[in-house]
Amino acid sequence: MAKKRIGIVGAGVNGTSIAAACAARGHEVMLFDSGLAFAETSRKSSRMLHGGIRYLEQGHFGLVREALLERDEWQQLAPDATRVERFFFPIYGDSPRGRLVLYSGATLYQWLAGRFSVGKSCLHSVAEVTKAFPGLRSTGLRGAVSYCDVVMNDEDLAQTLVEEAKHRGVSLHEHTPISRIDTTGFLDINGTLQKFDRVINAAGPWASSLLERSGISSAFELEHVRGSHLILRVDLKHALVFQTAADQRIVFAIPIGQGRTLFGTTEHAHDLAEPIVCSEQEIDYLLAIYNQYMTHQIDRSDIESSYSGVRPIVRRRSESLSNISAASRDSEIEIIDQLINVFGGKWTSARRLGSKVASLTD
């Protein structure tokens, strides 16, 4: 296989995974980011390495199964930066999904993981769930369903991936925005054109604006959906999943140590020209959900910090997307001459995506 010179735009989890996989194939790889590596979407996630239990509702069984196998690969790669967590769905009289639906879903989730399952899905009585969560509202509580999934320390995992890429010979150029790309292999770096055998656009939510700015038309376009999280000064023994009756969403409360809980997320259409921050309205929305289900009421003084990220939801230009919440978070790869565009994806799927893209560069 001839050694190629590859230029990659974007040092998030996708770009870094692609870079490491290309370098492992013997290529010379330069990875560019306009800021710091892993400072954008890849640092703003819900920190789960998961199959995505909620995608079962939309029948994305193949996608869920594949992601569950990928979850196992992360555990093998970085046992110290990953941990198994039990997630409890408390069930109330007015919950959108009842015991049977949730238990079937949780059992299917465990079953789809096969031998890579990280724990049994269970049904719990009211007594069991109130013992696990003494602060949970008991009025109308019918019990709970729990399942196991993997939570990551994203900062440590990012560090591992950057070190792996560098160790394989990738040269990382932070604070180096790429103003234009082209389909013959040129990157415009600080006003200087550099030629590569392959150029990979892994700019995450900015992938389509980079193409537009460069005058390249793509078969895909991105919708941008902001998701915000709060870090609450709240101590939980296990993770909770709240079902919101009003908008039929699910919101996670995940213990992250030192008496803190990660709480989110929201889903709002986002204009990339606007700052990616958690709005007052999102804070109100999340606090209201927490206070609806927990007896100890919290307010803004219980919020340690907040952060927001933007999901790029990919679709073919010819398709319309009527329900952003129901859209699968799958990725698309597009090849236009020497340019490879990567759209969408998940943290969980990034390594396999990296290998897939790298195999297209030979």
Nearer to ligand FAD, 40 or 85 (CB): 40
Min. distance of Cβ 222 from ligand FAD in angstroms? 11
Q: Which of 124, 174, 167, 197 is nearest to 24 (CA)?
A: 167
Give residue 252's identity as a one-letter amino acid code: F
Q: Residues in the site for ligand FAD, rule: CB under 6 A?
A: 9-15, 32-35, 39-42, 44-48, 177-178, 202-206, 210, 227, 265, 309-311, 345-348
Min. distance of Cβ 23 from ligand FAD in angstroms? 17
Helix (H, G, I), strand (E, B), or coil: what is residue 179? strand
Nearer to ligand FAD, 44 or 60 (CB): 44
Min. distance of Cβ 249 from ligand FAD in angstroms? 13
CA distance 31 to 42: 16
Kindly write down the DSSP assignment for every residue of 3-43, as one continuous string: --EEEEE--SHHHHHHHHHHHHTT-EEEEE-SS-TT-SGGG
Nearer to ligand FAD, 136 or 202 (CB): 202
Min. distance of Cβ 309 from ligand FAD in angstroms? 3
Nearer to ligand FAD, 10 or 90 (CB): 10
- Give me the phi and psi of 105, to 5 degrees please: -65, -45
Q: Which of 348, 349, 309, 331 is nearest to 43 (CA)?
A: 309
Min. distance of Cβ 179 from ligand FAD in angstroms? 7
Number of Cβ within 10 Å of residue 130's Cβ equals 18
Helix (H, G, I), strand (E, B), or coil: what is residue 214? coil
Nearer to ligand FAD, 23 or 129 (CB): 23
Nearer to ligand FAD, 103 or 206 (CB): 206
Min. distance of Cβ 34 from ligand FAD in angstroms? 4
Q: Which residue minimizes CB distance to ligand FAD?
A: 12
Extended strands (E) in 57-121: 82-92
CA distance 175 to 231: 28
